[in-house]
Amino acid sequence: MLDVLVFGPHPDDAELGAGGAITKAVVEGLKVGIIDLTAGEMGTLGTKEIRLKEAQSAAKKLGVEFRENLGLPDGYLGLDISQEDIFAVAKKIRQYQPKIVLAPYWIDRHPDHVASSEIITKAAHYAKLKKFKLEYPQHKIQQLIYYELNGQFTPSFIMDVSDFFERKKEAIMSHKSQFKEFSKVYLPFPLVERCVYYGSLIDVSFGEAFMIRDSLKVDKWKTIINK
Ligand SMILES: [Zn+2]
C-alpha cells in the first residue's frame, strides 16, 4: 500500500513537475512510488535503455520506494488513447492502493502529456468500480492531484519545496541525455524561475503548484492556518 503514487508520461516528467513535493513526502515518512507511462523512446535525445537507467538514478535521488515503467508507446500515446492504456494504469492503482495519485495537468502542448492526464484520470475512475474485473480488487483513491508540465494553471495549492529543491535539481540532472544545464531546463520557460515565482506567492524560496478538480475538505481551521 502506498500513500502517494505519481504517474509521469515520460521518464523525467514526475521530477520536473513534482520532484520537490515527492521528496518532501518521502522525508515526511510517506510511502511514494513513481510509474512512468512510456520510456521516452521517441524523444530526440537518448535511447530507451539510457532513459530507463537515468530514471532509476533519479528515483534514488528522490528517495521513492520504486519506479516502474509501463512501456506504453511513446509519441503514439498522444494520437490514440486505448482501453488497454486506461486499464493498465487502473490495475496499477488497484495493485498499489495509493491514497493520493499525482498526474500531469490536462492542458499541455505535448500530446503525450494531455493523453496521460486523461488516461490517469479515467483510470482512477475505473479502479474504483467493482464490476470492472481488473486483476486486483477495486480501490478508491482519496485525491487526484495534478502537477504542471508545459501548461499552467491557477494553483489549488502551492507546496513549499525550498528544503527539497536541491534534490529536485539532482533528480532532474540525473537525466543526463536530456539536460546539460539546470538553468536551461524550460517548461516552456525556465523551471527554476517558475519555482521561484510559485515560492514568492507563498513567501518562501521555492514552490511547486498543484491543482485538484474536486474540492478539498477542510474540517479544521488549523488545517489552513500555517503558524
Ligand atoms: Zn514529457
Residues 6+ apart with CB under 8 A from 94: 127, 134, 135, 136, 137, 138, 139
Evaluate if residue 217 carries a pLDDT over 90.
no
In order of their start, the domains of the chain are 4-224 (3.40.50.10320)
pLDDT of residue 159: 98
Mean pLDDT of the chain: 95
- For the record, the C-alpha cell of 142 comes out as 482519496
CA of 219 to the centre of ligand 1 (A): 36
Q: What's the gap in Å between 184 CA and the centre of ligand 1? A: 16
pLDDT digits (tens, 9 = 90+) for 179-191: 999 999 998 889 9
Distance 12 CA to ligand 1 centre (A): 7
Tens digits of residue pLDDT in 76-134: 888 999 999 999 999 999 999 999 999 999 999 999 999 999 999 999 999 999 999 99
- What is the distance in A from the centroid of ligand 1 to the CA of 105? 11
What pLDDT score was predicted for residue 227? Answer: 67
Q: Which residues have a beta carbon within 5 Å of ligand 1, which is an ion?
A: 9-10, 13
pTM: predicted TM-score of the whole model, two decimal places: 0.96
Kind of pairing between the strands at 66-72 and 157-160: unpaired
Does residue 157 have a pLDDT over 70? yes
**If you measure from the C-alpha of residue 97 to the centroid of ligand 1, how many angstroms do you get, rounded to a whole number?**
25
Measured in angstroms, how far is the CA atom of residue 113 from the centroid of ligand 1? Answer: 6
